[in-house]
Amino acid sequence: MKISNVLKLFYIRNFIKTENKVKALFDHHFFTNQYYLHNSASESHMANILNIQIPVLNQIALKNYNLEFTDLCEKYRFEHFWKEFTNPLNAELPVHSLIDASGFKSTEDFSSLITNHKEESKKIISGQFL
């Protein structure tokens, strides 16, 4: 772990108020460590990491990001997939390897996400070309 991350975690654990501490730890694990890319990512696993209950986890996600935790994971997985898919360095890679590297458990999960969230997917895709 980088020294800056160690110092950041030390500061969070010792100097930030409890309510802000959980949000800061959430952000650290979710965004800095890209928790959403892990195949084992789930509400129960993340709640266990943060030592909170699942409803509290969803409350943090809803309050700060306007999405439930699972939807937040799916959004960032798809954004990661799209960034890698449009990266010329990955032009020769098979699509299923990019899907796997984006944290989806299977191509069926990826396909289901696209099917069930067409409008949101269009926004992510069009945002890359603006």
Structure tokens, 23 = 């949000």
Structure tokens, 130 = 């603006």
- Over the stretch 39-86, which tens digit does the pLDDT of each residue have? 889 999 999 999 999 999 999 999 999 999 999 999 999 999 999 999
Percent of the chain whose predicted confidence (pLDDT) is above 90: 65
Is residue 43 within 8 Å of residue 30, measured between CB atoms? no
**What is the per-residue pLDDT for 16?**
62
Kindly state the greatest CA–CA separation across the chain.
48
pTM: 0.78
Is residue 54 within 8 Å of residue 43, measured between CB atoms? yes
d(CA 19, CA 17): 6
**What is the per-residue pLDDT for 130?**
36
Contacts of 17 (CB under 8 A, 6+ apart): none
- Mean pLDDT of all residues belonging to the chain: 87
**What is the per-residue pLDDT for 3?**
82
Higher pLDDT, 28 or 7: 28
